[in-house]
């Protein structure tokens, strides 16, 4: 599935909440996102995972609430997402 990722705005419209709430969920580790340039994005499969109530991560490679920044340089590619320990 190559569904278009959500922005905080489009996801807030889908969930009928504020954009800040979406950002807060990412920061709290309840929603996983990535940053491309200066833009926050949330993968469609991640939205489906949260909506279904599943705590399963795809392959264990996604971080908990950490956003990995990746600059756009020419051809589009998937962002590099790394696991960072939660700060206590």
| Residue 85 reports pLDDT greater than 70 | no
Range from 23-37, 49-63, 71-85 carrying the lowest mean pLDDT: 71-85
pTM: 0.60
pLDDT band at 62 (very low <50, low <70, confident <90, very high): very low
Where exactly are the structural domains of the chain? 8-70
The mean of the pLDDT values for the chain is 75
Q: What is the DSSP string of 13-64?
A: HHHTS-HHHHHHHHHHTSS--EEETTEEEB-HHHHHHHHHT----SSS-S-S
């Amino acid at each position: 599935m190559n569904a278009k990722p959500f922005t905080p705005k489009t996801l807030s419209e889908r969930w009928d909440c504020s954009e800040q709430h979406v950002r807060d969920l990412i920061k709290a580790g309840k929603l996983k996102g990535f940053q491309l340039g200066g833009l926050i994005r949330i993968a469609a499969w991640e939205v489906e995972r949260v909506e279904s109530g599943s705590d399963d991560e795809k392959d264990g490679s996604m971080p908990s609430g950490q956003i990995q920044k990746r600059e756009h340089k020419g051809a589009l590619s998937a962002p590099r997402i790394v696991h960072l320990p939660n700060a206590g």
